[in-house]
Amino acid sequence: MAKAMLNDVNKCIGCRACQVACKEWHDLPAEQTTNRGTYENPPDLSADTWTKIIFKEYSNDGTLRWLFRKEQCMHCTNAPCVNVCPSDALQRHPTLGFVTYDRHKCTGCGYCVEFCPFDIPRMDKESNKLLGTGLMGGKCDFCFDRVSNGLEPACAKACPTGAIKFGEWEDLVAEGKQRVEALKENHPDANFYGEHELGGLHMLYVLDEKPEVYDLPVGPQMPAAATALNVGEWTGVGLGLLVGGGMLGAAMLARARMIEGKKEEESAED
């Protein structure tokens, strides 16, 4: 029922077909970039770049490796961004499981940027929103339109080596964990990332080095402030209290008037 994507860093060749496919499908513009001494570009995610490959030269006890990892919204089950969004711009899809974004509702408050444990959402400076050129935008939208029409996301389709797979969450967790076991022979630190983190991520990773080597947070948590400051709920409760209190007050006032009126009537009859 719930969908997911499995990113297998060990199969990734860093070709960036996924980066281009994402832009092609969503008609996102290219950014101006320079060569900063790496193949990695653009330097950061943005309102116009929803996914990118991180390149890292890594020397593990003398053996050189060149690591590639696709970075994008992790579509957490217990997504802090969804909790903190005051305007329902970010929501959890009830059946497919990923995090949707509706820019029409975005107020530009920036709480999601502050509370995402993976540092994914990016504000567009001009419009002060997570921008997008369509209804859904600003961050990976799991190709919601493709998925709900029985197709796979653009990046998963484009990936030449099958490093990105799309399917059922349970199936991909099982497949990913099997793959991790097979990798352990040559990569003893291989691990599976996303099964339990934040209630389960819908972007799962087969990693062949520890998460921190791939710049992934170990055991990311729902930030305490995001739980306490469940803005929407508190706003609603606060408002409810206010209004409820107001209504109570009005009712009391009405009753008081009624009693007053009755008293007047009674005194008039005397």
Examine residue 31 and tell whether it contacts another protein (CB under 8 A): yes
Examine residue 151 and tell whether it contacts another protein (CB under 8 A): yes
To the nearest 10°, the Cα dihedral for 94, 5, 76, 44? -130
* Positions 231 through 250 that interact with another protein (CB under 8 A): 232-233, 236-237, 239-240, 243-244, 247
Residue of 251, 252, 256, 259 interacting with another protein (CB under 8 A): 251
> Distance between CA atoms of 130 and 123, rounded to whole angstroms?
5
Examine residue 30 and tell whether it contacts another protein (CB under 8 A): yes
In angstroms, give the least distance from the CB of 3 to another protein. 12
> Distance between CA atoms of 24 and 102, rounded to whole angstroms?
20
Nearer to another protein, 217 or 249 (CB): 249
Residue of 149, 219, 269, 270 interacting with another protein (CB under 8 A): 149
Write a three-state SS string for the chain.
Answer: CCEEEEEECCCCCCCCHHHHHHHHHHCCCCCCCCCCCCCCCCCCCECCECCEEEEEEEEECCEEEEEEEEECCCCECCCHHHHHCCCCCEEECCCCCCEEECCCCCCCCCHHHHHCCCCCCCCECCCCECCCCCCCCCCCCCCHHHHCCCCCCHHHHHCCCCCEEEEEHHHHHHHHHHHHHHHCCCCCCCEEECCCHHHCECEEEEECCCHHHHCCCCCCCCCHHHHHCCHHHHHHHHHHHHHHHHHHHHHHHHHHHHHHHHHHHHHHHC
Examine residue 75 and tell whether it contacts another protein (CB under 8 A): no
Residue of 1, 37, 61, 224 interacting with another protein (CB under 8 A): 37
Residue of 60, 128, 161, 221 interacting with another protein (CB under 8 A): 161
In angstroms, give the least distance from the CB of 216 to another protein. 19
With CB under 8 A as the contact rule, which of the stretches 119-127, 134-142, 165-173, 220-228 interacts with another protein?
Answer: 134-142
Residue of 5, 47, 67, 123 interacting with another protein (CB under 8 A): 67
Residue type for 204, please? L
Nearer to another protein, 23 or 117 (CB): 23
With CB under 8 A as the contact rule, which of the stretches 120-128, 145-153, 190-198, 216-224 interacts with another protein?
Answer: 145-153
Examine residue 43 and tell whether it contacts another protein (CB under 8 A): no
Instruction: Using the structure block, give the residue that is written with the tokens 């929407």.
Output: 232
With CB under 8 A as the contact rule, which of the stretches 84-92, 113-121, 123-131, 195-203 interacts with another protein?
Answer: 84-92
Residue of 1, 64, 228, 268 interacting with another protein (CB under 8 A): 64
* Positions 86 through 115 that interact with another protein (CB under 8 A): 88, 91-95, 100, 102
